[in-house]
Amino acid sequence: MRENKNALIKINDLNKKFSNGHVVLKNICLEIFEGDVVCILGLSGSGKSTFLRCLNLLERPSSGEIFFEGKNILSEKINIDLIRRKIGMVFQNFNLFPHLTVLENLILAPKKIYKKNDLELKKEAGELLKKIGLGKKINSYPSVLSGGEKQRIAIVRALMMHPDIMLFDEPTSALDPTMVGEVLKVMFELAKEKMTMMIVTHEIGFAKKVANRVLFLDDGNLICDESPEKFFNEQEDIKIKRFLNCMTYK
């Protein structure tokens, strides 16, 4: 039961103020548990990307605490590379290296960090690619891949590090609508395999189907953390209702 479980991530009073004085995250408190699939919704500019970026230290919070597996990752002593290894991230624009093949993209980081040999990594990459139907693309360059294929490979690249949690920042919003499904399917499979995930998305149908919690950020405030049933069917907050109405006419 949740009461007896330690949080994988525990966030206390997280604030982020940019150097121009803009306060983007305001006193966020949250616990994420192993196996959680958390979808984060909110208007553009509400702080969703900044929030995810703070969790794997791409942004430094201005104040507050983030405990990951019980360790305060904002402490001076923490090894940032170790944290990034355990907290995988998938971005909107894939960020694959264009001059490297799919295989080279996939093994670059684990080779450096885990000091595994090429053969072992190639086998692992091949198996993961096969699982998502891209086994034949192992020696291709990103330029010949579709957006959907690139994003599925970006997901595999994050998985190659064996993360304990995956963060997704609008993974399908740069895609042609015909390719959204193939990426969501990979994420759906990950959820079935009990991967802990935090997903910023505007895919309401996906959130309804896959999430066990839906969060809503409103101008840097976390104003809602509910089950999808409650969030979508019994919503009382006027701002969230308005947001959901806009999504319906997307």
Which residues lie near Mg ion (CB under 5 A)? 48-49
* Of residues 54 and 106, the one with the C-beta less far from ligand ADP: 54
* Of residues 24 and 90, the one with the C-beta less far from ligand ADP: 24
Q: Write down the least CB distance from residue 49 to Mg ion, Å.
A: 3
Instruction: Tell whether residue 49 is a contact of ligand ADP (CB under 6 A).
Output: yes
Amino acid at 63: S
Q: Which stretch binds ligand ADP (CB under 6 A): 43-51, 78-86, 124-132, 156-164?
A: 43-51
Structure tokens at 244: 């959901």
| 50: partner contacted, choices Mg ion, ligand ADP, none (Cβ within 5-8 A by kind) | ligand ADP
Amino acid at 52: L
| 22: partner contacted, choices ligand ADP, Mg ion, none (Cβ within 5-8 A by kind) | ligand ADP
Distances (CA, A) of 136 to 124, 159, 238: 14, 19, 49
Long-range contacts of 187-196 (CB under 8 A, 24+ apart): 187/155, 190/155, 190/159, 190/166, 191/37, 194/34, 194/35, 195/165, 195/166, 196/8, 196/32, 196/33, 196/34, 196/35, 196/36, 196/37, 196/164, 196/165, 196/166
Instruction: Tell whether residue 42 is a contact of ligand ADP (CB under 6 A).
Output: yes
Q: Are strands 87-90 and 37-42 parallel, antiparallel or unpaired?
A: unpaired
Instruction: Tell whether residue 172 is a contact of ligand ADP (CB under 6 A).
Output: no
Q: Using the rule CB under 6 A, which residue among 1, 4, 20, 233 binds ligand ADP?
A: 20
Question: From the CA atom positions of the chain, what is the Rg in Å?
Answer: 18
Q: Using the rule CB under 6 A, which residue among 8, 37, 41, 46 binds ligand ADP?
A: 46
Instruction: Tell whether residue 233 is a contact of ligand ADP (CB under 6 A).
Output: no
Q: Which stretch binds ligand ADP (CB under 6 A): 19-27, 93-101, 131-139, 172-180?
A: 19-27
Q: How far apart are CA 102 and CA 134, in angstroms?
A: 10
Q: How far apart are CA 13 and CA 30, in angstroms?
A: 9
Q: How far apart are CA 94 and CA 190, in angstroms?
A: 18
Instruction: Tell whether residue 171 is a contact of ligand ADP (CB under 6 A).
Output: no
Q: Which stretch binds ligand ADP (CB under 6 A): 40-48, 68-76, 98-106, 152-160?
A: 40-48
Q: Write down the least CB distance from residue 215 to Mg ion, Å.
A: 14
Q: How far apart are CA 155 and CA 132, in angstroms?
A: 10
* Of residues 129 and 154, the one with the C-beta less far from Mg ion: 154
Q: Which stretch binds ligand ADP (CB under 6 A): 38-46, 95-103, 130-138, 189-197?
A: 38-46
Alpha helices in the chain (DSSP H): 48-55, 80-86, 102-114, 118-131, 147-159, 177-192, 204-210, 228-233, 238-248
Q: Write down the least CB distance from residue 169 to ligand ADP, Å.
A: 7
Q: Which residues bind ligand ADP (CB under 6 A)?
A: 18, 20, 22, 24, 42, 44-50
